[in-house]
């Protein structure tokens, strides 16, 4: 399950089915004293994917930390991807936040996860753990409904794909010191995705292509404490 579009009915059903009860607090994903948010579901039974429940919990925790102070926030992410709308809600929240961020990718940063990470460009540091694998692709989707509804969703999917290209290419352009034009960077990304349905990258690859700023343990990124201090 990678980044995909869902119908409104599936979205609402997902929220209702996974709505936390009174004994399930969102703060299991939040460490207030160290200003850390874990971008994940509370349930150990669920796949590490981005859905509307995960998104809502992240937005709540982000607002809590923003109200406390404007100091940088550490976000930990390990995800195989997820819902486009939920992912973009997280992306936008990070972009407009008054805080800076240290965004740490663990294990796998795939699909929508790779797009969310780019929200930190110009606002802090994107850090990949040494053995974190990255996946960038064109996403997946399924359509049901009348002909007009399906056609409308198809048109939306094309726009969403172009938006993802822009996010990735803008991030790479800014990170790589603008040595190439935005159109050249975007063309390169499109070419990679055209030649391979799934573009897998190591942590080193993610850095060399401008999707991450550094690898944990490398020079300048020796420890989370040091990275946080540099961002501050």
pLDDT of residue 25: 43
Q: For 83, which DSSP code?
A: B
Contacts of 205 (CB under 8 A, 6+ apart): 134
Mutual orientation of helices 52-68 and 84-96 as an angle, nearest 10°?
Answer: 10
pLDDT of residue 26: 45
Structure tokens at 57: 């919990």
Judge contact between 90 and 59, C-beta under 8 A.
yes
**Token pair 């994940």: residue:** 40
Q: Give 84 or 151, the one with higher predicted confidence.
A: 84
Contacts of 90 (CB under 8 A, 6+ apart): 39, 50, 55, 58, 59, 116, 119
Q: Is the C-alpha dihedral spanning 91, 95, 98, 99 positive or negative?
A: positive
Q: What is the mean pLDDT of residues 58-83?
A: 96
Judge contact between 160 and 5, C-beta under 8 A.
yes
List the chain domain ranges: 8-231
| Secondary structure of 130-149 as H, E, C letters | CCCEEEEECCCCCCCCCHHH
Percent of the chain with pLDDT over 70: 84
> What CATH number should be reported for the domain whose range is 8-231?
3.90.226.10
- Grouping H, G, I as helix, E, B as strand and the rest as coil, residue 111 is coil
Question: Which tens digits make up the pLDDT trace of 18-35?
Answer: 444 444 444 679 999 999
Q: What is the mean pLDDT of residues 189-208?
A: 92
Judge contact between 160 and 112, C-beta under 8 A.
no
Instruction: Give the span between the Cα atoms of 123 and 142, in whole angstroms.
Output: 34
pLDDT of residue 166: 93
pLDDT of residue 196: 83
77 has a pLDDT exceeding 60: yes
Q: Give 138 or 127, the one with higher predicted confidence.
A: 127
pLDDT of residue 22: 40
pLDDT of residue 72: 98
180 has a pLDDT exceeding 60: yes
Judge contact between 40 and 78, C-beta under 8 A.
yes
CA distances for 212 relative to 5, 65, 115, angstroms: 26, 24, 11
Question: Which tens digits make up the pLDDT trace of 93-126?
Answer: 999 999 999 999 999 999 999 999 999 999 999 9
């Amino acid at each position: 399950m990678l980044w995909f579009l869902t119908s409104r009915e599936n979205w609402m059903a997902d929220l209702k089915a996974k709505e936390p009860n009174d004994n399930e607090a969102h703060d299991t994903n939040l460490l207030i004293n160290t200003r850390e948010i874990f971008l994940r579901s509370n349930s150990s039974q669920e796949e590490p994917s981005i859905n509307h429940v995960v998104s809502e919990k992240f937005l709540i925790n982000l607002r809590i930390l923003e109200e406390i102070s404007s100091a940088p926030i550490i976000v930990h992410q390990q995800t195989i991807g997820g819902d486009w709308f939920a992912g973009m809600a997280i992306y936008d929240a990070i972009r407009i936040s008054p805080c800076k961020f240290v965004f740490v990718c663990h294990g796998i940063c795939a699909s929508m996860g790779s797009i969310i990470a780019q929200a930190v460009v110009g606002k802090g540091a994107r850090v990949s753990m040494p053995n974190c694998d990255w996946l960038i692709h064109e996403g997946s989707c399924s359509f049901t409904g009348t002909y007009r509804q399906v056609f409308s969703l198809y048109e939306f999917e094309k726009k969403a794909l172009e938006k993802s290209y822009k996010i990735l290419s803008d991030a790479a352009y800014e990170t790589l010191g603008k040595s190439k034009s935005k159109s050249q960077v975007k063309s390169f990304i499109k070419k990679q995705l055209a030649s391979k349905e799934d573009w897998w990258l190591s942590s080193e690859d993610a850095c060399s292509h401008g999707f991450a700023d550094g690898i944990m343990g490398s020079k300048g990124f020796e420890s989370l404490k040091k990275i946080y201090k540099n961002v501050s």
